[in-house]
């Protein structure tokens, strides 16, 4: 299986998310699974990571609210021949994971609906949450009731339904996804990543009723399924 991962949370000194993807690339090479990562950069280049990993650095403008970051916008995937469109067409991944709530989430929607010109395949599309939108909106815009109401509306209509399944890095982050799932006709899963290692796609891992390190547990919250893998 080939996986293709997109994130805007990347810069020269970025911390947790960069370490997460580095760990995921290490795991991909150990298990001989093809993995591709697409990140914004000051210039376009391709970096090989072992035999099975590759990072596409795509030229992108600086983020408006935090100049340390750069942003990949929909203009870079909507048109045939645009940078992200070319990567998708070349790699033809079985699974696409997107870690972004503000511009790349729309890539999830058009992939699920098969709306990208020239792409004759439909991968499984995963949304990964590494932070809560209401926290970010409160930090950069407003933390009042208007900010909370906007975040709730946005997560419900412009984020949650754009993906087949969801991954969250903590129960706290996942709590924002549960109300966002309400009233959606299609069931989707929320996979919660715990501990300091990346999640695994190994479906043979045992399910059990505890969240002890080294095990995983299954629970449900309304229309949302939460599967938490815990590692030491």
pLDDT tens digits for range 174-219: 889 888 988 876 555 555 554 433 333 333 333 323 333 333 333 3
Looking at residue 142, its pLDDT comes to 83
Bridge partners for 227 per DSSP: 191, 218
Q: What is the pLDDT of residue 72?
A: 97
Q: Specify the 3-state DSSP secondary structure of 175.
A: helix
What are the φ and ψ backbone dihedral angles of 197, each rounded to 5 degrees?
Answer: -110, 165
Nearest CA to 187 out of 161, 148, 212 is that of 161
- Angle subtended by helix axes 171-180 and 145-157, to nearest 10: 70
β-pairing verdict for 124-129 and 95-99: parallel
Rounded to two decimals, the pTM is 0.81
Rounded distance between C-alpha atoms, residue 92 and residue 95, angstroms: 9
Residue 112, SS3?
helix
- If one compares 206 and 130, the residue with the highest pLDDT of the two is 130
Write down the mean pLDDT value for the chain: 81
pLDDT at 187: 58
- Asked whether residue 13 carries a pLDDT value surpassing 90, the answer given is no
Q: From CA 50, how far away is CA 210, in angstroms rounded?
A: 35
Contact 166, 126 (CB under 8 A): yes
Residue 7 pLDDT level (bands cut at 50, 70, 90):
very high
């Amino acid at each position: 299986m080939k996986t293709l991962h997109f994130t805007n949370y990347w810069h020269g000194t970025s911390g947790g998310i960069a370490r997460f993807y580095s760990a995921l690339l290490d795991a991909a090479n150990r298990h001989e699974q093809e993995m591709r990562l697409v990140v914004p950069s000051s210039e376009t280049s391709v970096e090989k990571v072992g035999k099975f990993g590759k990072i596409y650095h795509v030229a992108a403008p600086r983020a408006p609210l935090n100049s340390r970051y750069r942003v990949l916008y929909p203009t870079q995937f909507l048109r045939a021949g645009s940078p992200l469109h070319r990567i998708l067409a070349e790699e033809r991944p079985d699974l696409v994971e997107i870690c972004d709530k503000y511009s790349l989430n729309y890539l999830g929607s058009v992939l699920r609906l098969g709306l990208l010109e020239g792409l004759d395949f439909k991968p499984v599309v995963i949304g990964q949450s590494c932070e809560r939108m209401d926290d970010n909106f409160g930090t950069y815009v407003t933390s009042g009731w208007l900010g909370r109401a906007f975040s709730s509306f946005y997560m419900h209509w412009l984020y949650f339904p754009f993906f087949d399944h969801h991954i969250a890095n903590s129960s706290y982050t996942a709590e924002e996804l549960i109300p966002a799932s309400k009233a959606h006709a299609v069931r989707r899963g929320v996979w919660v990543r715990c501990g300091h290692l990346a999640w695994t796609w190994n479906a043979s891992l045992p399910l059990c009723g505890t969240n002890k390190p080294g095990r995983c547990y299954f629970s449900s919250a309304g229309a949302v399924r939460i599967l938490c893998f815990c590692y030491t």
